[in-house]
Structure 1
Amino acid sequence: MGKVWLDERHVVVFESKTNIYSREMNLYTENKEEVYSLYYDERIDDNAARYRCTDMLPVKKGLTVEAEGRVLPVYLRHIVHDPAFDSIFNAQDEELGAVVTETGTTFRVWSPPAENMSVVIDGTLYPMEDKLNGTWELHTDFNLHGAEYFYKAIIHGEIRRILDPYAKALTPNSERGVVYKKDSNNRRAPRPNLTHTQDSTIYELHVRDATIHKDSGVKAKGKYKGLTEKNTKTPNGYSTGLSYIKELGVSHVQLLPLNDFARVDDEQPDKQYNWGYDPLFFQVPEGSYATDVADPFTRIRECREMIDAFHEEGLSVIVDVVYNHVFDMESSPFEQLVPGYYFRYHLDGTVSNGTGVGNDIASERHMVRKFIVETVNYWLEHYQVDGFRFDLMGALDKQTMQLIERRCSEEEIPVLLLGEGWDLPTALASDQKTINTQAGEFPSIRFFNDFFRDTVKGNLFDPHDYGYVNGKGRHIERLPQLVKGSADELELTPPHVSDIVQTVNYAECHDNHTMWDRFEKTNESESEKDRRAIQQLATGLTIVSQGVPFIHAGQEFFRTKLGEGNSYISGDMVNQLDWKRRELFEEHISFVRQLINIRSRFEVFRLRSKEVVRDRLHFLSTPAPVFGFMLLEEGIDIAIYVNPTRRRYQIQLPASGEWRILLSNQQTNPASISGEFTELEPYEFLLAKKTRR
């Protein structure tokens, strides 16, 4: 039997193995109330032909054609890409998912192509009502909190078992959805106060990496609960986990994806590992991080308790969210419910793959946008997170991101929004992408600064390339742009963002080699001591430059992934935070701790606009390739010097007088400097302060 597809407003495609096509067919609406003449246009291949209609065809269910001596249903296919589809099946005001209220439980799912839809609750099938806007609904008079469910649909003539993309709870390994009545308990730890997002310092952390090491001193290793344990220590008495992060002085912990993801067996998590960028269900916490995955609500409770524990320590929480793709397009609930709608396609009909993982979510479509914005809202309200990091944000359309920006602006305490604004080859016009060249359209969204990263340590995609700190001052001409916040029109370097409140400065993150592993390649002739100093220069520049500094967990104690450049499924031995290294490099951790403290103490490191920076940041005359600049605090001058070489240099300070050394990575007991000149040691990072009279 053939199949007939509505692909465009004037086009129907007839698939048949008989290779016999009529020159003309009639298309009927339900009950033959309307009739449309279809005329043969061309053969597409051996089993399909295209028919056209001079009139605009209706976009609705119940269409039929008479062909091959029988009546065949017309299925909605590529027509889902037409803007009219969003208008005709407008369900913007529907609350989708399994919703528990005082009057009972209501199930709603959006699937315009479905010919029939039922919900299976604890093994019993219940038919749902078609609301004609694409939504199917069933209301029960019972509180079904804890009931297991999934949808059973007939779509394109096939019976499908589909999980709810709006599910708030799941059984192990995402086998079934579970009805969840949102916890009304508001006795949660309050969000840490934050005056301005420019005051933030971000620490990127993976839940499992943080505590899985045998010397972490944590009982619930690799779990949400492990990050709630306080006063944990290594066998030699050094702080670990939550307590260690608090002591470091950062303001925000950015957690790699927390929502349900693939590749790790919830019931046997030790057998696999994943960073979490393989999303399955976006509104449910990952099960492998829970202490009891058999109870669908344990992961919810423990995830919230972890966030509360961070809040109690004055730490804000950013969640890493992946709204640009799904793990497997064909099996995803989105594709099962509305084939072709939730994903982007090129004009030739091929699936867009700008993300490089097989599919791109079509965030610009109305119901996709609704899902993304409502998911952000759910994590804000139910989990009380303090920020979002958008993976491959350049693949998301700007209107969706502007709606997220607007929603987050409603919070009393500023929500930190940041993402990767790369211009990816996805099937979306460049002027519609959330990319750094259009940063002016997103005033409260921050962009990861790859220009900063590559200037400091070398081109990311060439593991043997040199940057300023590991290349004896290479790219020194770019440093003025970096320390000024990457937003100024300078002669040698264009701006990366519109203003300094939009740059996230970093030299290392979860992706690619750690700096320690990279410098082992680029600077193999250097001693380990010198390589450690080189890495301190990179971390130091990250923290003192205008914008928000971003530190990868363990960067401060020279984290290694044993040379692995893409460790997303490489296991605990490669990815774990090695708390033994934390013991070995306490002095170097102290350098970062003090630097973060200095940034917090002096407002001049956290300026709010490029205009103010022009007045309060000045470059100093130094022997190349030493770089120096001065910041003007109220009544105080702060001079910063960086020496990326093995040589010792004499430098002239901006003014004579008494300069107090705030911090140096080469001087154990720094003293004051009297007069105009001082010596800068090899690979030294120096901050000095002078009271202005």
Structure 2
Amino acid sequence: MPVTEAQAAPNALGPSPGPDPRLGAVVQSDGTTFTVWAPAAERVELTLIDADGGQRNLDLAHTGEYWTGFVAGVGHGQRYGYRVHGPFDPAQGLRFSPAKLLLDPYARAVDGELDHGSPLIYDSSDGDSAGHVPVGVVVADSPPPPPISRPVTWSETVVYELHTKGFTKLHPDVPEHQRGTYAGLAHPSVIRYLTDLGVTSVELLPIHHFLTEPSIAARGLPNYWGYNSLNYFSPHAPFSSAGSAGEQVAEFKAMVAAFHAAGIEVILDVVYNHTAESGTDGPTLSFRGLDNRAYYRLAHGGAMYDVTGTGNSVNTAHPQVRRLVMDSLRYWVEEMGVDGFRFDLAVTLIRNERHEVDTLDHPFLAEVAADPVLGRVKLISEPWDVGPYGYQVGNFGTPWSEWNGKFRDSVRDVWRNSSDGVKDLAYRLSGSSDLYGDDGRYPYASINFVTAHDGFTLRDLVSYDHKHNEANHEDNRDGTDDNRSWNCGVEGETDDRAVIALRKRQMANLMSTLVLSTGVPMITAGDECGRTQYGNNNAYCQDSELSWFDWSLPAQWADHLALTKKLLALRAAHPTLRQWHYFSGQPVVPGGRKDLSWIAPHGGEMTDADWFDGSLRTLGMFLAGDALRGTDVEGNVLVDHSFLLALNATPEARQVVVPDASWAPAYEVVLDTSESGVTEVEAGAVVPLAPRCLVLLRAL
């Protein structure tokens, strides 16, 4: 242990905190106040670390549950940590050890790496872990980025999920030292690509400072995706081109400002369900050494209670832990300028003190719903975890939107010709009212997706029947086997032109279904231009060309990119295709057409027999644009074109009848994934619908 300065009298380092102090390192004109919550500790030391690794240790004053001290002359850029004294009794959940240099949970920046090879990071060693663990950096307050000029409404939202490093690592226009960084994402060429594509919101895979798990590092691989957070206030330092002594904060803010200037929202994928301290035998880096019993869910005998599959679960049943999460969320909105959050394994956050799921009365849900800061941003849950009763799709209530896993599964099943009729597809096309229509929510509660970072890319979804994860060094055991994919007859890459053409049509069908469905579409970066991971459906540890965005693809896959742009442009231009109310099946205005009609292949509306025909995979959806619910900014009733969406997911052509003139006298074909060349069809006409195709017709 380093030598500790003589313990000062109480409050010698500064005033005691009030009943609700600002936690972390707060820079003032003549120094910095450090405050940390550690209610069960017997003594807490602040460790100041100089550029050469030398340490200066100062005792903090104890008031109530907090420890605090003011240090004159210390300011922006100072590296620091805490040493916490108290009982070490793992069976009782107590893991205090002053030998472990702990990261401040409220640190605004993190510097340094984790030395996976050192035994000093574990409780089994009483040696000093300094020099082997990341530390905090004092960061002075600075102005937040300018807000987006015009907030993006939910009905306009198109989410684009991307990886901060992987998206620009190979971009030829980005300066080499900025590739794979926040500055790289802010490059004009990158932002121009996104605006030209038509997305409104980027959803960044985790950028809270994260670490690689020891078990992954032992295989010589990194944690690439980032779902292993060490700190909930610090931008991931390796994504900064400018440095890790606070520069990452400024660079992140500049990135947000650039996106906002282009009219694009920034949504963060956040991982409040577990931390990088892993399981019971994991490294002691921060929370475990401050108050293990409060921060984590524990089982009998002090072992971690794990509902995340990572070894630990954050205990949001504890009010101080909820405060940490809420403070973090507000910080990223108010200080860092972000526009929303996607909560990884969100069900973990609504488990009570008995580890039971509470979708009705959990304090976390109540606090989020009542918070004025969070009330102005987008909140998206991943509504499941791996614990008992962990699948909660449809149950989060207002103000939440949710990743709709049922949309993904239903759409995949239909287009691989494996669904039980079209009943479930109809719910997904029209906004999933069966999931979200009974608790006061709107169709935008459904975040529709066909692929995500976790699983096959869109190209791989139509190219592989089986996962190929050998590069992960887990003998291909990792990753799901429930891919609901179809390789179109050949496993993997092929030169067979017929197979390639079929795959491209299937990709067009899947992308078209996604964008034209009611709800909020989420596109995985690269799906618009044929990105492949060569069958790896779990590339969490692949920080390589396997995961990085290949910027030669937009030119190679120009036809699919053009289709995606066309789809997004149609959606943006026509409120009929992005309605924010659920359909009633009744006219919106007297004498008008039903807002939604389901059309059977015979040209009439679907009958009960049609709905219960398990072999039926041909369906029409008529969306009336007579008068949409609501008015424009000038008070005019919204009126738009009407559309007929027709799809045939079978491998055979189908003769279908166009609805009679009571719906529309004729239609213009605006999209046809079979490229049949038909441009207009008359009401009542019998037309062939090509195998495996989707057609969008605009009523004339």
TM-score calculated relative to the size of structure 2: 0.75
Q: 1:215, CA displacement in angstroms?
A: 4.9
Q: How does 1:384-423 map to 2 (within 5 A)?
A: 384-397=337-350, 398-407=362-371, 414-422=376-384
Match of 2:183 among 225, 238, 241: 225
Bigger shift: residues 380-389 or 573-582: 573-582
Bigger shift: residues 608-617 or 172-181: 608-617
Aligned AA for 1:468? V
Aligned AA for 1:300? V
Paired position in structure 1 for 2:598: 619
CA distance in 2, matches of 1:438, 1:671: 43
Paired position in structure 2 for 1:93: 20
**1:485 aligns to what SS in structure 2?**
coil
> Measured at CA, do residues 638 and 680 of structure 1 come closer, stay the same or move farther in structure 2, by a change above 3 Å?
same
CA distance in 2, matches of 1:558, 1:663: 20
Paired position in structure 2 for 1:449: 404
CA distance in 2, matches of 1:564, 1:489: 31
CA distance in 2, matches of 1:524, 1:261: 39
Q: 1:410, CA displacement in angstroms?
A: 5.8
Paired position in structure 2 for 1:134: 65
CA distance in 1, matches of 2:202, 2:562: 19
Paired position in structure 1 for 2:506: 534
Q: After superposition, what is the alpha-carbon deviation per residue over 1:636-676, rounded to whole angstroms, capped at 9, x for unaligned?
A: 32100112133222322223423112222232866222343
CA distance in 2, matches of 1:670, 1:250: 29
The yes-or-no answer on 1:178 pairing with 2:137 is yes
> Measured at CA, do residues 516 and 151 of structure 1 come closer, stay the same or move farther in structure 2, by a change above 3 Å?
same
Say whether the 8 Å CA contact 2:308–2:385 is kept in structure 1.
Answer: no
Aligned AA for 1:212? K
Say whether the 8 Å CA contact 1:408–1:415 is kept in structure 2.
Answer: no
Paired position in structure 1 for 2:468: none
Bigger shift: residues 246-255 or 644-653: 644-653
CA distance in 2, matches of 1:91, 1:689: 64
Aligned AA for 2:82? Y
**1:610 aligns to what SS in structure 2?**
coil
CA distance in 2, matches of 1:291, 1:159: 34
Bigger shift: residues 508-517 or 313-322: 508-517
Q: 1:604, CA displacement in angstroms?
A: 2.1
Say whether the 8 Å CA contact 2:658–2:682 is kept in structure 1.
Answer: no
Q: 1:552, CA displacement in angstroms?
A: 0.6
Q: After superposition, what is the alpha-carbon deviation per residue over 1:185-206, rounded to whole angstroms, capped at 9, x for unaligned?
A: 35x3431423632321100000
> Measured at CA, do residues 213 and 352 of structure 1 come closer, stay the same or move farther in structure 2, by a change above 3 Å?
same
Q: After superposition, what is the alpha-carbon deviation per residue over 1:440-467, rounded to whole angstroms, capped at 9, x for unaligned?
A: xx3121111111111111xxxxxxxxx1
CA distance in 2, matches of 1:134, 1:248: 51
TM-score calculated relative to the size of structure 1: 0.76
CA distance in 2, matches of 1:497, 1:508: 27
CA distance in 2, matches of 1:208, 1:621: 47
Structure 2, gaps ≥5 residues long: 1-16, 50-54, 89-96, 114-132, 215-219, 351-361, 466-485, 491-498, 587-593, 603-615, 627-638
Say whether the 8 Å CA contact 2:213–2:276 is kept in structure 1.
Answer: no
CA distance in 1, matches of 2:568, 2:585: 20
Paired position in structure 2 for 1:25: none
**2:570 aligns to what SS in structure 1?**
helix
Say whether the 8 Å CA contact 2:45–2:59 is kept in structure 1.
Answer: yes
Q: 1:322, CA displacement in angstroms?
A: 0.2
Aligned AA for 2:650? T
The yes-or-no answer on 1:435 pairing with 2:392 is yes
Q: How does 1:82-481 map to 2 (within 5 A)?
A: 93-102=20-29, 104-122=31-49, 123-131=55-63, 133-142=64-73, 144-156=75-87, 158-160=97-99, 161-173=101-113, 175-183=134-142, 185=143, 188-194=145-151, 196-213=153-170, 215=172, 219=176, 220-231=178-189, 241-263=190-212, 272=222, 274-293=224-243, 295-329=244-278, 330=282, 331-346=284-299, 349-397=302-350, 398-407=362-371, 414-422=376-384, 424-425=386-387, 435-439=392-396, 442-457=397-412, 467-471=413-417, 474-481=420-427
> Measured at CA, do residues 223 and 532 of structure 1 come closer, stay the same or move farther in structure 2, by a change above 3 Å?
same
Q: 1:152, CA displacement in angstroms?
A: 2.1
In the alignment of these two chains, the number of paired residues is 564
Match of 1:488 among 430, 434, 437: 434
Q: After superposition, what is the alpha-carbon deviation per residue over 1:79-105, rounded to whole angstroms, capped at 9, x for unaligned?
A: xxxxxxxxxxx9971211111234642
Q: 1:513, CA displacement in angstroms?
A: 1.8
Say whether the 8 Å CA contact 1:437–1:497 is kept in structure 2.
Answer: no
CA distance in 1, matches of 2:197, 2:619: 27
Paired position in structure 1 for 2:569: 597
Bigger shift: residues 360-369 or 206-215: 206-215
Paired position in structure 1 for 2:631: none
- The two structures, once aligned, show a CA RMSD in angstroms of 2.8
Say whether the 8 Å CA contact 1:192–1:315 is kept in structure 2.
Answer: no
The yes-or-no answer on 1:508 pairing with 2:458 is no
> Measured at CA, do residues 672 and 287 of structure 1 come closer, stay the same or move farther in structure 2, by a change above 3 Å?
same
> Measured at CA, do residues 582 and 668 of structure 1 come closer, stay the same or move farther in structure 2, by a change above 3 Å?
farther
> Measured at CA, do residues 505 and 571 of structure 1 come closer, stay the same or move farther in structure 2, by a change above 3 Å?
same
Q: After superposition, what is the alpha-carbon deviation per residue over 1:374-416, rounded to whole angstroms, capped at 9, x for unaligned?
A: 00001001110011000001111242133234336666xx411
> Measured at CA, do residues 557 and 151 of structure 1 come closer, stay the same or move farther in structure 2, by a change above 3 Å?
same
CA distance in 1, matches of 2:406, 2:35: 46
Q: After superposition, what is the alpha-carbon deviation per residue over 1:506-526, rounded to whole angstroms, capped at 9, x for unaligned?
A: 110000222322322223417
Say whether the 8 Å CA contact 2:221–2:541 is kept in structure 1.
Answer: no
Q: How does 1:30-49 map to 2 (within 5 A)?
A: none
**2:505 aligns to what SS in structure 1?**
helix
Q: 1:438, CA displacement in angstroms?
A: 2.6
CA distance in 2, matches of 1:579, 1:264: 30
Say whether the 8 Å CA contact 1:91–1:134 is kept in structure 2.
Answer: no
Q: 1:584, CA displacement in angstroms?
A: 1.3
> Measured at CA, do residues 445 and 480 of structure 1 come closer, stay the same or move farther in structure 2, by a change above 3 Å?
same
> Measured at CA, do residues 531 and 596 of structure 1 come closer, stay the same or move farther in structure 2, by a change above 3 Å?
same
**2:109 aligns to what SS in structure 1?**
coil
**1:213 aligns to what SS in structure 2?**
coil
Greater relative contact order, per chain length (Cα 8 Å cut-off, separation 6+): 2
> Measured at CA, do residues 381 and 630 of structure 1 come closer, stay the same or move farther in structure 2, by a change above 3 Å?
same
Paired position in structure 2 for 1:44: none
Aligned AA for 1:662? V
CA distance in 1, matches of 2:541, 2:684: 54
Q: After superposition, what is the alpha-carbon deviation per residue over 1:580-599, rounded to whole angstroms, capped at 9, x for unaligned?
A: 22211111111111111111
Say whether the 8 Å CA contact 1:91–1:135 is kept in structure 2.
Answer: no
Q: 1:559, CA displacement in angstroms?
A: 2.0
> Measured at CA, do residues 92 and 444 of structure 1 come closer, stay the same or move farther in structure 2, by a change above 3 Å?
farther
